[in-house]
Structure 1
Amino acid sequence: MLEQTINQEIKSAMLAKNEARLRGLRAIKAALLLAKTEKGVSAAITEDDEIKVLQKLAKQRKESADIYKTNDRQDLYQVEIEELEVIEEFLPKQLGREELVAFIKDIIAKTGASSVKDMGKVMGTANKELAGKADGKTISEVVKELLS
């Protein structure tokens, strides 16, 4: 289970006095605890839920890093990037651009989509099948590209 792995990694980071890694791990632990409490006392979170939590954290870090970079705040940008690297360690391997294009072409063929008007059908199927393997923004870009 991810929570146990995170706890072990936190101990290792504390012993190594690795502050950047410790920040990222603590953010993951806090998000997982929050997800657990939202589900209820007796409910356990599934592996899919854990992946969604990690994806949300990664997305937040990316967006914050972009904002800090735009505003020339290199110190804050670096903090976000360090945490993002730690979070990404626990996410499933992301598909490369070529693999993603091939996968989406297959989905387009299955759904019979022919224009941008059919994007909703393709996105719904793609998001389900590619959950955890690619982020929604990238999927959307590729779908638009292929349908136009």
Structure 2
Amino acid sequence: MAAQEEDAAQAGGPPVDRLGFLLAWHGGITDTLIRKALGATGLTPRQAMTLMHLADGPVTQKALIEWLAVDPSVVVGLLNDLETDGLVRRRRDPGDRRRHIVEITPEGTERLRTTDTALETMERELVADLTDRDVATLRRLLGRLRTSAEDFTCGE
């Protein structure tokens, strides 16, 4: 192990020798920062992501399940909580009564504004040492990572 890597490991810093662990370490810290930023909004990260998705307009419950890539029961619980708080509304699709349409409410839109402000502040602090070009490159590279279940086989 190089001296710099050994110093980082002893100081509790990131595991710099394995990219996967480095991404996980930064992801864990970022998750903590996101949860802290969202603390004032009363939302979980998944609830915030759902409101962000609904800000573009109503979607079917099935589309949310696919977009969040979770079990349908998770989305039902998530929507139940958001609906109880008055942040989203579900209604039957008049064209297909088996389908639910989900939309953000005015209260949800206001909560999303607060959420966006909190996240913007956190993100600015997170990337404070990066240039705008660095941030754009990071976004582009992260977008190219093969992290979906369909892409990743773990040597199967």
Which one has a larger percent helix, Structure 1 or Structure 2? 1
User: Normalised by the size of structure 1, how large is the TM-score?
Assistant: 0.27
Higher strand share: 2
